[in-house]
Chain A
Amino acid sequence: MKIIESLLYTKNHEWVRVEGEEAYIGVTDYAQHAMGDIVYVEMPEVDDELDAEDGLGVVESVKAASDIYSPISGTIIEINEELEDSPEIINNDPFDAFIVKITISNKSELDELLNAEEYKAYISEIEE
């Protein structure tokens, strides 16, 4: 199971990559593994404003659907259009295949997220 040191994580298996005042959000390797072949990703629209824990979209496999929630509050500035035709890129490289890029409206929310170490510990906990 791949976990990248420099990212932040949620217990819902989203990752956050902070770049200045903006952040990329995607789902983790653990999540894509659990889902299996991803067939569709429902994404928000650019300019949508989200609060932390608002629904961000849905990741679907053939026989399952998982909601993704926004780890932080902000405004959507980009969605990963490549996912529209090739959702499998999440299976191939979940940490590269971001779902959205969002402005960070409240930096203190980042403190609530897990670091790589904590996320790793969380994974081993739920795997037991």
Chain B
Amino acid sequence: MHPYLPHTKEDITKMLEVIGVDHIDNLFDDIPKNIRLNKELKLDKSKSELEVTKLMKQLANNNVTINEKVSFIGGGAYNHYVPALIKHLASRQEFLTAYTPYQPEMSQGTLQAIFEYQSMICELTGMDVSNASLYDGGTALAEAVFMANHANKKKDVLVSATVNPQYKDIIKTYARFKGLNYIEIKESDGCTDMENLKDLFSADSSSVIIQTPNYYGIVEKGSEVRTIMNSFKNKAMFIVSADPTSLAVLEAPVNYGADVVAGEGQGLGSPVSFGGPYLGYIAATKKNMRRMPGRIVGETVDKDGKRAYVLTLQAREQHIRREKAMSNITSNQGLVALMATIYLATMGKKGIKEVAIQSMYKAHYLADKLCNIKGITLLNSKPFFNEFVIKTKVNAKMLYEVLIEKGFFSGVVLDDHQLLVCATEVHTKEQLDSFVKEVEGIL
């Protein structure tokens, strides 16, 4: 007997009687003998909760957390403050253990939460429609690229070199098999090279993708991209990957002409969790609403005229459109989207802005102090938000490793002399100062 398996011997006997077979093994008589596994799986035997807990804690304790060291690692996963209530609300079983709200009458909780999520994503991006979530920032961009291809049937995908390298890799993978051409727009001083974009942009361009703040933390000039794209009419789509937190301060992409905004929403209430589960968000203008991948919730009324929510525009989706669907996505990141919804509600109008501004000020404070050290300079001159690249006279990897000893994860090593450093509202001045002191000591 096992705690998850409720059947007593007597239950089994009674049930087999109803079915009309003698033994539970007979329920597998339809499987030819030569297919069946005639041995035990090479796995451990079942364990008690006590044993499993011990085992899991051993594994967990064999990791060094970002609470044990002070971490300035960003690069697509950000350590923002996560209000305590999120975990409690998101782990309510009614949210946690439900599935896709295909029966709206008993899923109004999930449906309304998604509707609120969509509304807040639209508020941040300025877009007209958001879906219920995608896997992560990288696949969200890949889906956006496919949306553009659906819309204009063109094949050239122009991706700025300053987009997160993992997102670029994902777009490359998706594009290759779909038969699209991945073309990289060069960078200059840590920014998308607009001259190069002008050269590359053509009648065959399907989409142009930039990220802002970009991989190096620099704020891109989306309006310049749009101007270049407007220079001739070819129906190409402008796709922007924006850190949603930064959108409390930075211009909403709709206002510089983005057609689709797609990115990573982990920073909205989820821990860094060794890379997942994260939150891919995607939002678009009304024109592209019916090309959106995945689920969308709409407001409607019930028979009595009472306001309610339901999955809508489903004819785009795989369960109806099959091979002609906009995407194959089914399971999304529902619970993470719920956490983002609760986060945005909790932080609210003021809080999201304070997070953005504190992160920015702290990153700039840190950058200034680091650059006062001889042997450290900023790599780029363009305005950055809360992440920046420093050029180190000494070997960056060596610096990084020594700093781990001193109690710091100093950032992401980009090459022999470059380190990508990030700060958020969770860092204190004291931490920043002591980090600077340690770096100074090493140099």
Contact = CB atoms under 8 A, between A and B. Distances in A.
Interface stretch (A18-26, A61-69, A88-96, A116-124): A61-69
B345 interface: no
Interface string B145-156: 000000000000
A60 interface: yes
Interface string B307-340: 0000001110000110010000000000000000
Interface residues of B, number: 7
B320 A64 contact: yes
Interface string A40-65: 10100000000000000010111111
Contacts of A67: 324
A91 B81 CA distance: 53
B290 interface: yes
Nearest to B235: A45
A65 B290 contact: no
Contacts of A61: 315
A39 B290 CA distance: 12
A8 to B, nearest CB: 27
Contacts of B320: 63-65
Given A40-B290, A42-B290, A62 B314 contact: yes
A63 B314 contact: yes
A109 to B, nearest CB: 24
A53 to B, nearest CB: 16
Interface in B280-323: 290, 313-315, 320-321
A58 B321 CA distance: 11
A40 B324 contact: no
Contacts of B314: 62-63
A49 to B, nearest CB: 13
B279 to A, nearest CB: 28
A62 B320 CA distance: 10
Contacts of B315: 39-40, 58, 60-65
A46 B315 CA distance: 24
Nearest to B322: A65
Name the residue in B313, B315, B320 with the highest tally of chain A Cβ atoms < 10 Å from its Cβ. Answer: B315
Nearest to A59: B315
Interface in B65-118: none
A112 B89 CA distance: 63
A62 B319 CA distance: 12
Contacts of A58: 315
Contacts of A60: 315
Contacts of A40: 290, 313, 315
A40 B324 CA distance: 16
A95 B313 CA distance: 25
A63 B317 CA distance: 10
Nearest to B325: A65
Contacts of B313: 40
Nearest to B313: A40
Nearest to A45: B235
B100 to A, nearest CB: 15
A119 to B, nearest CB: 26
Contacts of A42: 290
A62 B315 CA distance: 7
Interface in A98-127: none
Which of A39, A60, A64 has the most chain B CB within a 10 Å cutoff? A60
A62 B298 CA distance: 12
Contacts of B290: 40, 42
A57 B325 CA distance: 14
A60 B316 CA distance: 9
A93 B315 CA distance: 23
A117 B324 CA distance: 33
Interface in A6-48: 39-40, 42
A91 to B, nearest CB: 16
Given A60-B315, A63-B314, 14 more contacts: A39-B315, A40-B290, A40-B313, A40-B315, A42-B290, A58-B315, A61-B315, A62-B314, A62-B315, A63-B315, A63-B320, A64-B320, A65-B315, A65-B321
Interface of B: 290, 313-315, 320-321, 324
20 contacts: A39-B315, A40-B290, A40-B313, A40-B315, A42-B290, A58-B315, A60-B315, A61-B315, A62-B314, A62-B315, A63-B314, A63-B315, A63-B320, A64-B315, A64-B320, A65-B315, A65-B320, A65-B321, A65-B324, A67-B324
Top 5 A-B pairs ranked by shortest CB distance? A60-B315, A65-B315, A65-B321, A65-B320, A63-B320
